[in-house]
Amino acid sequence: MGNGLIFHNKILDIVLIALIVAQTLKVIIGLFEEKRVNFRRFLDTGNMPSSHTASVTALSTAVAIQEGLHSTIFAFSLVFAIVVMYDATGVRRAAGKQAEVLNKIVNNIRKKEGHSIIEENLKELIGHTPMEVFWGAFLGIVIAFLMS
């Protein structure tokens, strides 16, 4: 397999690079959306592109290239990638929408009664839109091919 950049494991390095590139793109895209640099986006979940998706598709693609499409480890990594992408657009996105509704309820109570049930709002942006997942997948696949 040869030496990798960081972990001396080419596949793990590809996954890490995909994750870092996706998170960096979130900061760059945020610059255009917010008209300021927001480094918190580098560590945040949500937003464009999905770094979870970029990571798992980079993993699955790199495994496919190295081990082949008929290998057991490729099958495992593909199923893992599908579960992660489904979770990002399904369960995590639904949880984010529920947090948004709960935050509105708490803020209304805060306005009416002058106190709050909770001290800080729940995090609303934890999932992804299908488009954010698509671009995360595209990014992960491209990085895996470029680095393999």
Asked whether residue 64 is domain-assigned, the answer is: yes
Backbone angles phi, psi at 90, to 5 degrees: -105, -85
Range of the domain at 64: 10-90+127-147
- Residue 1: the pLDDT is 44
Higher pLDDT residue, 1 or 59?
59
Asked whether residue 99 is domain-assigned, the answer is: no
Q: How far apart are CA 29 and CA 49, in angstroms?
A: 9
Asked whether residue 85 is domain-assigned, the answer is: yes
Asked whether residue 122 is domain-assigned, the answer is: no
Q: What pLDDT digit, counting tens, does each position of 108-133 carry?
A: 766 776 666 666 665 555 567 888 89
Report the Cα 148 to chain-centroid distance in Å: 22
If one counts the domains in the chain, the total is: 1
> pLDDT class for 20, splitting at 50, 70, 90?
very high
* Statement: the pTM of the whole predicted model exceeds 0.85: no
Q: What pLDDT digit, counting tens, does each position of 21-76 carry?
A: 999 998 888 888 778 777 676 677 777 799 999 999 999 999 999 999 999 999 99
Q: Which of 87, 67, 90, 63 is nearest to 77 (CA)?
A: 63
Q: How far apart are CA 44 and CA 40, in angstroms?
A: 6
Asked whether residue 2 is domain-assigned, the answer is: no
* Res 6 pLDDT > 90: no
Asked whether residue 78 is domain-assigned, the answer is: yes
Q: How many CB atoms lie within 10 A of CB 64?
A: 19
Give the containing element (helix H, strand E) for 79. helix 72-89
- Residue 117: the pLDDT is 63
